[in-house]
Structure 1
C-alpha cells in the first residue's frame, strides 16, 4: 500500500456514507491497462485480520493513484508489512495459463488454458448441489461435488445423516454447511441482526456477533467423514448444532477429513471448519495451506482431538489456527492430542488464540512444533489450562496479558458486550451456573484480571522464552521441564515426536502421559 490520501468512509466506526478511498501505488503496470472498468483490488487494506475486495472507480496513471468505488470495513492504511493489495479482472494481465478475464458488459469470458481443452465447464449455480431438510438417516457416499458458485451439500433439521468418502472441490463457497445462515446484509457492517436463511451462509458472522444464541437448526448426530475438501472459495465446512440457551449438544461431527486451499475468494475469517452451537466434534482431520485460520469457534463444550493443523495463517496478522473469543460464557472446550506445526509467518500468528477474555478451555496432550510467533495467546481470559503439552522450536511458549484492565476495558462496561452476552444465557442460573461454577460469580471475581490459567507438566524443547506475562495470571508450576536436549523422541529429525518408553521426559515429569502421536491426523485405513 502506498500513501493513503483518503481512507474512505469507515463503517466499523459508524460512518456509512459509502465513500471510496484513494491511495498511491508503486508499480508501472496500470499504465498498460487499456480499460479501467470492472477492475477489482483485494488485500489487507488496514487490519491484518480483515481481507476485503473493492472495485476501482478511477486509475490515475500520471499521479499513480487508485480510487475505489466502495469503502472497506476498517478503511485503508499503509506502512505495515501485511497492508498489501493485488488487482484482478484485467484483460492485459491474462498472461499465465489458468488466468481469465470476465467481460460482463458483453457476456464474454477470456481464458488462458493450461493445456488443450476438450471440455470446459462454467457454473452459474448459486444454490447447493444437494439440499437436505428435515430428513433422517440419509447417507451420501462416494460422490464428487464440483463446479458450482455455491456449496456442495446443505443440511438443516436433520438427524443421523452422514456424508462419507466424498470429494468437494472447485466450489464458490464451502463443501458442506450443516445449519442455517443469514440473509446477506445490504450494507457493509461489522455486526447486526439479520434474517435466518436456508441454503445460505450470507452474513452469518456479522449476525452471530450480535446474536450469539442463534440456533442454526442443524439437527443432531450428523457427520462428515473421510472426505477431501479443497479449492473452495470461502472455507471448508460450516458445522452447527446444539442449543446455547439450554446447552443441549448437537453431537454433529467432522472426522477424518482433509481440508486445504479453501480461501480462493474470501481470505479471512472463512475457516477450514467453522464450528458453532454446543457439543460438536472435530476429529482426525488435516487442515492446511490457507491464508487465515483453520478453525473458527463459537459456542460451548466442543471437542477437538487428533487433528493435524499446519501451514495456515500464512497471510494474516493477529490470528490463530484455532481461534475464539470475546464471550466469557463460551466454555467447556477440550483441545487434546492435536499436532500444530509450521505456523511461522512474517506476521503475528498463533496456534491457539484465546482472544479478548476467552475462557474455559482445557488444552491437554498437544504438540506445538514451530507454532508461530506467539504459539499460545491468552488475551485477558481465565480458566484456560495447559497440561501435558510439548512445545518445540519456538521463540515463545505462552503469552498472557491483562487487556481488560487497559485498552480493552470497555468490554466490561455496564450493558457492554460481556454484560449482554452473559445476561443472554442467564449465567447465574442453571444450566450455566451448574455446568461452569466459576461463571455465576463472574462479576464478583474481578473479571478485568486474568486468573486460573495453570501451566503444568509441559515440556519446552528449544523454546527461548516459556511464558510472557505475569505469573499471577499464568501460574507456571514447578512440574514443567524446560530443556535444550531431546526429551526422548522416536525420531525428531523425521518429525516423529512420539516419546520412547525409555524417554527421559517421564523421569523429569512424574505423571507425564505419553501423547499418542501415531494416532494424530487422517487415518488412511478408515473405511
Structure 2
C-alpha cells in the first residue's frame, strides 16, 4: 500500500510539472480578443493568440483553433520575438474542421446588367480568384474554359490575333498565358494596352529559358468582352464593379461568395542569428491565396526555373518546424515554400490539390553557391571559378523532408511547377508521396548543389501532361563544370575533372519508387546531372534517360515497355547501367563512350541484345521473357524461372509505393497498369483502338494481295473517325502502316511500342502504303 501511495504522489508531481511547462490557448470565430483565451472564454483571432505567447511563463504553448473559417486581414507572422524561446503548436481542436483563409467573404447586392450578366458593387482591393459555394470560377477568357482540354483548359492560336484585339473593347489589364515555344513551362504577361493593332505586353519573367510564345497553346483572360459563358466573371477595378455570368441552376441570393486577398497565410520567419524553432502546425485547411505569377521572380541558377519565394506557408530561417496532416487547396500560387536556411523542417501527411503552382519547394539562397551563374547560356570563365568544394554559407535547406503527402491537380495556371521542388539544398528526404495530375515533373531537382537527397517509395504518375521534354522525375546539373558549349565542356571535364563534384558532392539516391510519364521519360537526368544511384524502381512508360553528367549508377530497375536512353555522354563518365529488365532496345543519341559498365541486363529479344552488343556493351546480358508474377495487378517481381535472376537481378517489393495513410489511400487515384508490349502480346493481340483509330494486323495472303504488300507484315487502318486527331494528319481508311519513326511496324503492338517512345514530342513520322504507293505522314499525337 505504501508503494502505491508513493507512486500516486510521484505521478501527481509529474503532472503538475507538465502543467507548469505547458499552456493551452483557445481561439474560436465566436470568441473575443479581449477574452482570456480559455476553452470557455476563447479568443477570436489566431494573431491575438500568437501575441500572448511571449508573456506566458510556460515553455510549451498550444493554440487550439475551434471549428470555423478564419479570414485573415494579414498573414499570421511568427518570428523569434513572438516565441520568446518557447515551442509552439497550432492545431485544430479535436480535429474540428478549421480553415485559415487568405481571402474575404463578401456580401453583394446584385442587379441585372444585361440578359445574361449580373453586376454588383464591391469594396476593398481587387482580387483575381472568385469562389461560389466553394468552387473556383474562371475569369472571363478566350477560349472559354474547357475541362477536357489538355493545356490551360483551352487554348487558341488566334488568342492575340489583330482581328480579336480589334473586336475587344478594352483589353488593358488582361492577361496572356502561353506555353514556352518548346513546351518547357509557361509564360505570363499583363496586357498594358494596344499599339498598331497589337497587344502591348509586360511580363514573361517566369521562365529561365527565354523564348517566344507557343503559337498554339495560349489564351487570354480578364477581358470584359470575353464574358460570354456561364460561370465566367470580370472585375472592373476602376468602378469596383463585379460582373458575373451565373452558373446554371445557381441561386445567387443564397450563394456563399469568397474572393482571394493575401499572397501568404502563415509566415515562419527567423533570422540567421536566431531561427524560428520547434513549431508544429497540424490539421489545418489553407485556402484562397492570391495568384502570384506577376510577382517578382528570381532565376534558380541555370535550371529552367524562375521562382516566386512565397506560398500559403512560408518558412525562412527555421529549425524543426513541421506542417502535418493539413490540407492545401484553392490556392493561387505555391502551397509551401521552404526558403533559405532551414534545418529539419518539412511537410508530412498533408493533402495538396487544386493550386496554381508548386506544392512543396525547398529552395536555397543563391548566395550559398560558389561561382553562381544564372541562365542556361551564362557561365563563369574557367580562370575565375571558385575551386572550393561545397556551399559558401548555410542559407539552404538541410535535412528537410516531404513525407506521406497526397499531391495532385497542381499547376492550374503556372506550368513550370512540380509536386516537390529541390534547388540549392542538401539531404532532402522525399518519401511515400503520391503525386499525379501535374503539368510538368512530379519531383524536380534543379541542380547538383549539394546532393545527398533520398527519393524513395513515391508513386508518381500522370506527369508532364501539359508540357514536354521532361520526366516524372526530372533533374538538371548545370553546376560549376557545366558549359553551354559542349566542346568547351568536354575540354573542362577532361583537363579539370576536379570541378565535376564541387557542387554535386553527395550521392542522390532514387530507390523503390514507381514512376510513370507518358509525355517524356519516367526519370530524366538532364544536362549535367551527376552523382546518382538509381535502383529498385519500376518505370512504367517513359524509361530512363541519362544525359551528359558523371558517376550515375542505375541497377536492378524494371523498365516496362521502354528502355534506357543514353544521350551525349562524356568520355570517362563513370556511368553504370546493369542488372535491369528492359522491354525495348537502347535508344542512344551521340554516344561514343559507353561509361564504366553497361552489362548483365535482360533484353526482350535476341535482336535487341545483338544491337546492344554491337556497341561493345552487354557481353554478359541475355534475352527472354522476364516472367513477371502478376503484371496485370502491378506485381513486377519475377518468377523463380526468370532469366533476370541469373543475371543478378533481385526482387524488390512493388506494392509499397505512395501514401500510407489509410484516408489518403482511399481517395487517391490509382495508377493504371500498362499492357505489356512483349513478344507474347505481339502473338496474341491482332487488333486495337489506337489514338481513337481502329487498327489491325495484316492477315495473310489475302491482305497481301488486296493491299499490294511485299510481305504479310504491317498495320491496316480499319476506321478513322471524323473526330480523330489523326484526320488532319492525313491518315485514311485502308492505309497500311509499314514503319514508324524509321522502325518496322510488323504489328499493332510494335506500332504502339514505337508511339510510346515519341509520345511526348507530339508527332511521329510514319510510312504508309496507299494504293500501292509509299507515302510519309507526320502524325499529330496530341
TM-score (structure 2 length as normaliser):
0.48
**Structure 2 residue 231 is the aligned partner of structure 1 residue 94:** no
**Structure 2 residue 526 is the aligned partner of structure 1 residue 380:** no
**Structure 2 residue 391 is the aligned partner of structure 1 residue 245:** yes
- Relative distance call for 1:457 and 1:85 in structure 2 (3 A) is same
Quote the Cα distance in structure 1 between the aligned partners of 2:161 and 2:585. 39
- Relative distance call for 1:397 and 1:109 in structure 2 (3 A) is farther
Quote the Cα distance in structure 2 between the aligned partners of 1:488 and 1:367. 15
Q: Is the 8 A contact 1:364 1:388 kept in 2?
A: yes
Quote the Cα distance in structure 1 between the aligned partners of 2:535 and 2:187. 36
- Relative distance call for 1:174 and 1:449 in structure 2 (3 A) is same
Residue number in structure 2 paired with 1:266: 414
Aligned equivalent of 2:565, options 375, 398, 412: 398
Measure how far apart 1:128 and its partner are.
3.0
Q: Residues 158-173 of structure 1: matches in 2 within 5 Å?
A: 158-173=318-333
**Structure 2 residue 212 is the aligned partner of structure 1 residue 76:** yes
**Structure 2 residue 576 is the aligned partner of structure 1 residue 454:** yes
- Relative distance call for 1:241 and 1:24 in structure 2 (3 A) is closer
Count of aligned pairs between the two proteins: 406
Residue number in structure 2 paired with 1:226: 349
Aligned equivalent of 2:504, options 306, 330, 348: 330
Quote the Cα distance in structure 2 between the aligned partners of 1:47 and 1:86. 17
More helix by share: 2
Measure how far apart 1:492 and its partner are.
1.8
Residue number in structure 1 paired with 2:628: 489
Residue number in structure 2 paired with 1:36: 171
Q: Is the 8 A contact 2:458 2:658 kept in 1?
A: yes
Residue number in structure 1 paired with 2:437: 289
Residue number in structure 1 paired with 2:404: 256
Q: Is the 8 A contact 2:312 2:336 kept in 1?
A: yes
Secondary structure of 2:277's aligned partner: coil
Q: Residues 176-215 of structure 1: matches in 2 within 5 Å?
A: 176-179=336-339
**Structure 2 residue 521 is the aligned partner of structure 1 residue 350:** yes
- Relative distance call for 1:71 and 1:252 in structure 2 (3 A) is closer
Q: Is the 8 A contact 1:400 1:473 kept in 2?
A: no
Quote the Cα distance in structure 2 between the aligned partners of 1:505 and 1:521. 29
Residue number in structure 2 paired with 1:275: 422
- Relative distance call for 1:476 and 1:158 in structure 2 (3 A) is same
Aligned equivalent of 1:55, options 177, 180, 190: 190
Quote the Cα distance in structure 1 between the aligned partners of 2:321 and 2:172. 47
Residue number in structure 2 paired with 1:365: 536
- Relative distance call for 1:386 and 1:493 in structure 2 (3 A) is same
- Relative distance call for 1:262 and 1:351 in structure 2 (3 A) is same
Unaligned residue ranges in structure 2 (runs of 5+): 1-156, 291-309, 369-389, 480-499, 606-623, 665-782
Secondary structure of 1:290's aligned partner: coil
Secondary structure of 1:518's aligned partner: coil
Q: Is the 8 A contact 2:178 2:213 kept in 1?
A: no
Quote the Cα distance in structure 2 between the aligned partners of 1:285 and 1:137. 24
Measure how far apart 1:457 and its partner are.
0.3
Secondary structure of 2:559's aligned partner: strand
Q: Is the 8 A contact 1:389 1:459 kept in 2?
A: yes
Residue number in structure 2 paired with 1:174: 334
Quote the Cα distance in structure 2 between the aligned partners of 1:221 and 1:502. 43
TM-score (structure 1 length as normaliser):
0.69
Measure how far apart 1:49 and its partner are.
1.0
Residue number in structure 2 paired with 1:315: 466
Q: Is the 8 A contact 2:268 2:318 kept in 1?
A: no
Quote the Cα distance in structure 1 between the aligned partners of 2:281 and 2:581. 43
Measure how far apart 1:502 and its partner are.
3.0
Q: Is the 8 A contact 1:489 1:503 kept in 2?
A: no
Q: Is the 8 A contact 1:337 1:364 kept in 2?
A: yes
Residue number in structure 2 paired with 1:105: 238
Quote the Cα distance in structure 1 between the aligned partners of 2:351 and 2:361. 15
Quote the Cα distance in structure 1 between the aligned partners of 2:434 and 2:182. 28
Q: Which of structures 1 and 2 has the larger relative contact order (alpha carbons within 8 angstroms, sep 6+)?
A: 1
Aligned equivalent of 2:181, options 36, 40, 46: 46
Residue number in structure 1 paired with 2:259: 122
Secondary structure of 2:571's aligned partner: coil
Measure how far apart 1:106 and its partner are.
2.1
Aligned equivalent of 2:593, options 464, 472, 479: 472
Quote the Cα distance in structure 2 between the aligned partners of 1:78 and 1:164. 39
Quote the Cα distance in structure 1 between the aligned partners of 2:269 and 2:163. 51
Q: Is the 8 A contact 1:307 1:521 kept in 2?
A: yes
**What's the C-alpha RMSD, in Å, of the aligned pairs?**
3.2
Measure how far apart 1:157 and its partner are.
2.9
